[in-house]
Structures are given as structure tokens and as C-alpha cells.
Structure 1
Amino acid sequence: MVNFNEFLDKMSVVAEDNNRIDPEYYTKYEVKRGLRNSNGSGVLVGLTEIGEVHGYTIDENEKVPVEGKLYYRGIDVSQIVEGLQKDGRYGFEEVCYLLLFGRLPNKTELQDFVELLGNLRSLPDGFTEDMILKAPSPDIMNKLARSVLASYSYDDNPDDISIKNVLRQSIELIARFPTMVAYGYQAKSHYHDHNSLYIHPPRADLYTAENFLYMIRPDNKYTRLEAELLDLSLILHAEHGGGNNSTFAVHVVTSTGTDTYSAIAAAIGSLKGPKHGGANLRVMGMMEDIKKHVHDWNDDEEIKEYLKKIIKKEAYDRSGLIYGMGHAVYTLSDPRAVLLKKKAAELAAVKNMEDELNLYFKVEELAPKVFAEMKQSSKDISANVDFYSGFVYKMLNLPEPLYTPIFAIARIAGWCAHRIEELVSGQRIIRPAYKSVSGHKPYIPLEQRI
């Protein structure tokens, strides 16, 4: 009998050797690796009216750094947040409405939409027991993807891609994502971590951020400030243009004409990756390592020396990366990080975690200087949203397995908006080119192979 592990040990080497492409070919054929131009900007592959990410300008084919801006349907997110905070209102539902329909709602429209989402939060009959509890997953993102795909079987009209039907599916998914994530986590916590099982029915009278905290906590309790901070995080993660990996995945899969659940499940798979939605977990691990090895959190020189060790691959995970610093588009600042850390300071004061937050401030300040010194580089580097989002979730006493799923709870709004836009305006299957560089070979009869 063939030993599977021995087979894999042998053939994994063969598979790796036969899938390695000479890097010189990428230069020879001017391949846009990662869909990036030579100056670091993204290759233009589509148009969108949903979100705009502005982090630099191009002058004579050179990137010129500017302060970061993020726009939802042409409106500066900073202005949206400022308006909501001035009114003392939760805003994630309003942002969902804006992204889906392309304009801000009036009071009646907003009230109706909030009520609609609240009434749609409960999962279909039998779904929790059959699709979540009977097959618990150690990773909530995989459980969420499975729950989305399973929703196809509970939909009486799953394959209709008319805008009315896709809009119906989108609103249901936006409403149900927090419930799917909360129940997926509770199943994981109970069956894999051997904790008590808490299945709290969602409440229609609460806003999304409130409802999630209510469902995830054994005692259902949360403060107004905690809910406000989670609501802000959901707003800032709801959309980020059409070029980010998970949203582009939605465009690619949608362009085939497939169903909503298949397209959204693909996006979840993309977001799970540590280079995308899972990045804040890497930040948290790095910061815990810094806290352990830097004895004086107020000593700039000690912090700088340890950051140098990280860059020299002598500390933390030896990747040479300072996680949470730098972004593919933003240069001088990430507007999401700016807004999040400002609100986070309020909760840090209440939670008596100001010393730890100040350490984050120190790393944010010193990391670009250390990078410039070590790499002899003039590249502009700033903290991105992942640098602070993990700390925010820690202050909210949310378990780490929920960090990336919370990202998905927010981003489902942007994904659905982009799916609708692709169906309305794309109308052509996305198929970029790959050039074969393998060369042609003769077929060798089985008896003659060594």
C-alpha cells in the first residue's frame, strides 16, 4: 500500500521544482506582477463609482506622496464620520445604504432600511443547527464562507442575477453576516475550545455594532462607547475601492454570471489571507513581542533598537517586516488609521490601557525613521488601518479569531455594491493573459519513461 505522507514528501519537491518560473521572464515579457506598474501604482483594469482610494498623485510617471483620502460614492469618509459623531448616531447602516444605492438616505429611508436589516438578522429555520453547530470550524472565516455557500440551498431563487434579486440577496447577507459570525465563533469556542455554548437570538431593535456585541458576549452587556468604536471600525472597513484583492475577486467571479453566494464566498476566501484581512493578527503578535522585549515603553532608543532587530530578521517572526506599517496605495497617511486611533484613545482612557496605546503611537512614529535608516530609503511609510484595528478589538475584549470576520461583516457592504456595479456596467468576463514559457516537449510512451 502506498504511504500517503511518503508520497507527498517526495512529490512536493517535484511539484515545487516544476512550478518555478525563472524571474528573468517577468522582466523580459514586461509582466505586471501583482497587477502593479513599475512605479508601484496599480494596473487600471476597471472603473467604479463606489469607492475611491487616494494616496498619491502621478507627476511625469513618478508617484508623489499625499495625505490619504477615502471616498464612499464621492463623499470623504472623514466627513461622514464627523457628521455621524456630531449627531451622536451609529452610522454603519447609513454607509451600507450609501454604498448600495449611490446616495445618502433621508430620515425616513434610513429608518426603513435600519428596520429592514434588523428584521432580517435571524438565520433560516434549521440553519444554525444543521449548517453551523453540526460542522464547527476552528477558523471562523471558513465557517462564514461555508455558511454563505449553504445559503444558496435556503434561497428559493438563488441563480437569478436580476438587480432586484441580487439586491434582495445582498441586503439579507449584510443583515445575516454578524449572526453567522457570532454563531460560528460560539460553535468554535464550544466544540474546539470546550467553553460553554451561547446562542443569543439577534435583536431587531439594535444597530449592527450593538447587536454583534450583544450576541458575542455571554452576558449580552456592552457600553455605548464600545458600540460606537465598533461601529466606526465597521464604517472604515466597509469599502476600499475595486482594486483590493477581495473586491477584485468579487468582480472577477461576478463577471462569469454566477450566483451571489459563489461570488461572496470567493471574496471571503481572499480576505482570510494574512496579506489582506488577516494582517491585524500579525500586528497584534508583533506588538505582544515588542511589549515582552522592550522594558521601557517610553524609551525611544530602546524601541528603535528592537525595531532594527525586527527589520534585520533577528526578532519576532524573522520576516523582516514591521506589520501594520505601509500600504499599497496610501503614502503619507491612511485616513482609516487616523480616524480609528483618535476614537480608540477615548476607550483606552476608560479601559486604563493608555500606556499600551502610547506604545503603538511610539512604534508608528519611530518605524518609518528606522526603516529609512536601515534601508537607506526615502519611501514614505505610515501606519495603516491594520496597525490599530487589532488593538481596538482587544480593548473591546473580542477574541482574536473574530478579528478578520469582523472585517468581513463590514466589507460585505462594499462587496455587494461592487457585484451590482459589475452586473450593470461590466458585462464582460474578466480574463487577463498569461504567457506560457514552458517550451514544447514530445510525448514519451509509458514504457520509455525512466
Structure 2
Amino acid sequence: MDETEQQDQPKLSPTTALSPTVAWQSRDFRFYSAARVLGIMGAEAQAVGVAWQVYQITHSALALGNTGLALFLPGLFFVLPAGHVADRYDRRAIIITCYSLQAVATSLLLWLALHHSTNIWLVYAILFLIGTGRCFSGPAASALVPTLVPEAHFVNAVTWGATVYQVANATGPMIGGLLFTVAIGKLFGGRLAMLNGAPLVYCFTLICLTCFLAFISVVRPRGAGAPKAFTVKTMLAGLQYVASTRLLLGSISLDLFAVLLGGAVSLMPIFASQILHSGASGLGLLRAMPSIGALVVSMTLLLLPIRRRAGRTMLSCVAVFGAATVVFGLSRNIWLSCVALLVIGASDMASVVVRSSILQLATPNEMRGRVSSVNWLFIGASNELGEYESGLTAHWWGAVRAVVIGGIASLTVTGLWSVFFPALRQADELTAESLVEVESRFTSMEPID
């Protein structure tokens, strides 16, 4: 569907019945989603390869933790410039450039693995390079999605995007693990034996990245950014816009504090071994539950999308997230714990769909890159700092108390946010017009360049 055809599409309300697959009618969304599946699968498989390679070199848990830090640090340094770039230049070109950089970085990891290098600092440097590419491509990709489908199809596109992410996020590590077990030398001859282990995983990632670049290169987004001068004012405009828009500030900060305080994923090994006494197999089962819950909800939302009371739905889902976290912390039965984690994943997915829709629909196209970069920083902080917070509080109080207190804190935050952010509570339909109307009741927005 070209730009003229999309502009001719009628403005539809969320209350209008739409096909569960309506987003796939847009050619560009199909190519973008195919690229995204391959990109995520390759990245997740590569994460398995990097973890194994680093552990073989160091045999250190701290070194494994440093790999995540190396990927996260670029976000602290470059998040605001990345958002500015996404709003000032062709977002598709930014994505292509960043993923080309990641392909180079993966080639370097492959070279290190083939030459059996033990220089761990080179690995960290390459991961920092990959993290830099992700830092710039993330806001550009997030801001690109609304330009691929008609506005009436956007919520459906967000829901499908979340589904695609969950499928690829679960499949990638599994493929990476399987590739480690393939004796490529025995299958195809001794000359290929050098590809056993991490090198084979990196080859798979390179294939995925090549296909990603091929698919994304044929996407034709509408409303590409126009180059403008770089100033500190324009770079900080994303933070200013989020701070002055109650809907955005409420939804992003709610997710930040709920996940930061209520995250229990990093403590699952302790629960599996010391509390539930289920061993490694139980840990695998526990880790799978949130993804299964998220997938079930994402498929349900495709058939029964959120049409009204979107803000209340998000607040309710975060409250359920907190309550389920408390149940998980108190449980001494593996099956009750699995149900609690299933609910955690399901409620989180529903709130993600609402938050992602508000993020893009309540933000003008010329601001989406900078606002998305702020959102990326908040999400990164909630995930990375959430793991640190969970470990620290578990060290202080024990794993059970840490999870239970975190769940109660998430419930408390939800109650406070429903009072502090009435615009979020009163958000109804997930359309730009409805969200702007709700926002205008509580704030007087000034135009931001």
C-alpha cells in the first residue's frame, strides 16, 4: 500500500470492528515484521554464544554480568542524541546503518572465536559497539512503526509487534542452544569443525542480519524526518515533552517503577533451588511461564482488542502484576508459582500494548524519535536496575521478602499513579484524537521543536 492509498483510508474508531490481521494488509508492515523476527532471533541466539564464549574464557559469573553492562552503557551516553537523530534523519537509513554496524561487530566476534582469543576486553568492546547500534536503532525503529500502517490499524500493529517479539525472543535462545550441540565437522567434513560452538551461532546471526537488511531496505515509510541543525535544546526536547505530557509521563514512569520494584525474574534460580526445590528443570519451567502468558494475551488482544477505558485497563493490569508477584513470592508449590508467573507475563503484556500505543499516538511524528529514546532509557533502567535492585534486596532481606515487598510496592505505585495522573486514568479510546482530548483537560501543551 503506497502513501496515497494509506491517506485515502477512512478514519476509524477503535469501536469499529477490524480484522485481527488488519495490520498485515500493509505491505511495509509485513516486510518490517519479517525483518524484526530475524533481527531478534539472531540477537538472542548471539547472546547465548557470547555468554558461552565469555564463560569459557573467564569461568566468572561477574564477567557474564559485565556483558549486559557493556550492552547497556551506550544507552546512558547516547540516548538523547539517538532520539534527536531519529527525528532529524531518515529512520530507515538509521536502522540500516546501525544493523550494518552490528553485522560488522558479529563478524568480529566470529573472528575472535575462530582464533580462540582469550582477550575478554575485546569482547566487551565489541558488545559496547553492538549496544551503541541498538541505542540508535531502537528509537528509530519504534518511531517508524506508526508510519507503516494507517492510524486506525496502529493498535493492531502494536499487538502483533508484541506477539512477534515474544515468539522471536523465545525462539532465538533455543536456536542458539541447539546450534551449540550440532557437530558441524562430523556432518559436513572435518574442514568445518572450526565452526563448532560459538562460531556456528555467530554465522547464524550474520545470516539473520543479512536477511534483516534485505527486508528493511524495501520498506517505504511515510513522513521521513528532514535534516535540521543539532542543538542542545532540540536534543533535550524529548525529555521536556515527556515531562510536560501527563499521559506519557504517567504511563512510562508507571512501567519503570512497577518493573523496577516488582521484578522477580532475576531471583528465579534461588526460588527453583532453595524454595521450590525443583532444580534446573523447574527453573526452565518457571522461566517459560511469563512468555507463555504474554503470548496468550497478545493473541487474545488480536481477537478482542482494547476498545475503551485503555488507561484504567493499564492501571488494573499493573495492579494484577503486583498482586501476582506477591503470590509468587509466598508460594511453596511449583504449580502455583507457574500460575503466578503466567499471570505476571499476561498482565505485563496487556499494559505494554496500552503503553506502546499511548507512546506513539500521543506524540507528534516529528517528536517520536526523541520521545522513544526517553522510553528506551526508562525501560532499560527498569530491566537492568530492576535486576540489581532484586539482587540487593534479596541480599538484605532474603529472596522471599524481597519479592513480596516488591510486589506490594508495585501495588502501592499503581494506587498512587491513579491519583497523581488522572489523565492516564481517564484515557479511553486508543486514538490520537481521544488521547489529545484527554491530555488537553489537564495540561496546556506548548509546541516543541
Larger proportion of helix: 2
Which is bigger in relative contact order (C-alpha 8 A, separation at least 6)?
Answer: 2
TM-score tier by shorter-chain length is: under 0.3
| Structure showing greater Rg | 1
Taking structure 1 as the reference length, what is the TM-score of the superposition? 0.26
Taking structure 2 as the reference length, what is the TM-score of the superposition? 0.26
Larger proportion of strand: 1
